[in-house]
A and B are shown apart, each in its own frame.
Chain A
Amino acid sequence: MSAVLRLLSRRLGISLIVLVGVSMLIFGIARVIPGDPARIALGPNATEEQVANLREALHLDDPVVVQYGHFVADLLRGDLGVSLYTNRPVTLDIAQFLPATLELVLFAGVLMVGIGLPLGMWSARYRGRWPDHLIRVVSLLGVSAPSFVWAVILMLLFAFFLPIFPIAGRITDSFEITRVTGFLLIDTLLARNGAAFFDALWHIFLPAFALAVSGIGQAARLTRANMVETYDRPYVEMAQAYGFSARRIAAKYAFKPSLIPSLTIIGLDFAAMLGNAFLVEAVFAWPGLSRYGVAVILRKDLNAIIGTVLIISATFLIVNLIVDLLIAFLNPRIRHSERGAS
């Protein structure tokens, strides 16, 4: 077990270095903004004095390095500054909008793994035959359009043409759910309101599926490729020679070894969904962080932009960390190595 702990601490260290790098990068990008952020924030009617005061308050007159120092010092106190768009602390805005996005992305992640992996497994088991050809074409189609196109098409088909799913929002307004975690699927359960839970489920399904389509295709393609390679290994031939059923070989003996190399990429696809949530939230009017992000970007709201990107990157790093741990758990070579993984 200590090998896993060593791996965890090393990855944690690297993640922290990377996070510092991300903050510098984002801070750098935000500071090349053309025009005076204070002027943009206050609007054309503000006096020169008001602008100067705001510049002072935002440390905009200091050298960039000093500005970054202030930023990090504030960040360590959990302060991301005030959003010029909502006039609220950025951390509050993020706390309000992040759960909706995370819920959407996590649900989409479940769909990606729950549909993509079995499709890939099936495809590999019937490689060269028609189920394989069909799944390959479908999954390639899945990765061949941005998620906003899938969102629009799915909405047209299953919300307008066949009105099975709602068009927008997270839950029917008549439900009043006390906010505990911000995850409606959890909060409705905490409130022991079954009807509200299924209503939320009903609302999240279509946007999450639209978000997941590319990921499903990607996961299926990857799983298939890795499993086809595994099928050529002697240990699969041995399993066949010992009469293990094709289903059991596909689901266990060929699947587990090929899952390990797939997982890293699946983690990256999950990250891609964090970005693509921007597109799907726009189509389904999903009140999440991405809609907030686009709003603050269009208003050049520096603090909010930095905060949003930083929190999304941190989420991404956490996901990667979890994926690394999962791989370490699945791969006995890492779990039992003396020096940890390289």
Chain B
Amino acid sequence: MRRTVIILRRNPLSLLGAVLVAAVVLSAVLADYIAPFPEHRGSVVDFVYFNQGPTARNLMGTDLVGRDLFSRILYAFRISLILGVVVLAIAPPIGTLVGLFAGYLGGRTEFVLMRLTDVFLSIPPLVLAIAMMGVLEPTLMNAMLAVTAMWWPWYARLVYNIARSEREEGYVLAAEVIGASTLHITLREILPNCLPAIITKMTLDMGFVIIIASSLSFLGLGVQPPTPDLGSMVAEGARYLPDSWWLTVFPGLAILIAVFGFNLIGDALREILGADQ
């Protein structure tokens, strides 16, 4: 605890990270109350104010059908966060189990599980998700599925490396001697030693999941309109550069701010938990 305070004091950037993340999360949760035009999250058309730069009425300008960009960005944070949280609720447990059993049991289990992991890891991250979205319908659910499929192997690799070295430790051997079950040893003895590394990776990954998810929708393979999504907003606006610059710049900066916030927190956490990998 003392160390935490010291690190936070020494590193004011982690405080900035906390502020940014809090702002993003609050915008997403309270979008209905903050957004000047909550109804603009859907397919609304307002040709009086269409394609306008930032004004007092529309802080970040309006899009091609006159919707308030600021309002849409707030709602887009919601989609990004939901996707990030769901992926990070599913992928790490799957990867952790695979890594634990492969690392502790060794032998044939290790070979099969880790080669399977290698297969997933040897398709460049985004490419696997793109290919999956190519055959699946582009919905939020499927985007989560595709990102999860490319994400679990990283946790499998991480936990596997720890479990393999812990396998030889005294406390594991002691548990084996008194006849503890495999399940007990992996989940109750080895898993707690992997947790700091897993948690640190999860914080750092929140930003990366947001990046991958927005990349999918940038390519038109993610959440579909009219649902507001930062990636598809940038893609749509990119066609109108440089004149309607606000269409791309603000959603782009929104991604940057959210991910930067999570990365700052992740970095601080890594220092505090001392799991520098």
Contacts and interface: CB of A to CB of B under 8 A. Distances in A.
State if A and B touch, Cβ cutoff 8 Å: yes
Interface of A: 14-15, 17-19, 21-22, 24-26, 29-30, 32-34, 137, 140-141, 143-146, 148-149, 152-153, 155-156, 160-161, 225, 229, 271-272, 274-276, 278-279, 282-283, 293-294, 296-298, 300, 305, 309, 312-313, 316-317, 320
B198 interface: no
Nearest to A19: B122
A271 B130 contact: no
**Shortest 5 CB-CB contacts between residues of A and residues of B:** A275-B126, A297-B134, A21-B119, A160-B242, A144-B260
Contacts of B221: 297
A300 B135 contact: yes
Nearest to B122: A18
Interface string B121-143: 01111111011111111000000
A229 B277 CA distance: 11
Contact of A25 (B119, B237, B263, B264): B119
Contact of B255 (A19, A149, A313): A149
Interface string B226-247: 0000010011011001100100
Interface of B: 13, 115-116, 118-120, 122-128, 130-137, 207, 211-212, 214-215, 218-221, 231, 234-235, 237-238, 241-242, 245, 248-249, 252, 255-256, 259-260, 263-264, 267, 276
A276 B219 CA distance: 11
Contacts of A25: 119-120, 123
Question: Is chain B's interface secondary structure helix, strand, loop, or mixed overall?
Answer: helix
Given A278-B126, A278-B219, A293-B130, 8 more contacts: A29-B132, A146-B212, A271-B125, A272-B125, A275-B130, A294-B130, A309-B123, A316-B124
A300 B131 CA distance: 10
A282 B276 contact: no
A22 B130 contact: no
Nearest to A294: B219
Given A140-B267, A272-B125, A29 B135 contact: yes
B249 A22 contact: no
B153 to A, nearest CB: 11
Contacts of B214: 146
B130 A144 contact: no
Given A152-B241, A156-B248, A312 B124 contact: yes
B134 A305 contact: yes
Contacts of A276: 126, 215
Nearest to B270: A225
19 contacts: A14-B118, A15-B122, A17-B115, A19-B122, A21-B116, A140-B264, A140-B267, A152-B237, A152-B241, A271-B124, A278-B130, A278-B219, A283-B238, A293-B130, A297-B221, A305-B134, A309-B123, A309-B128, A312-B124
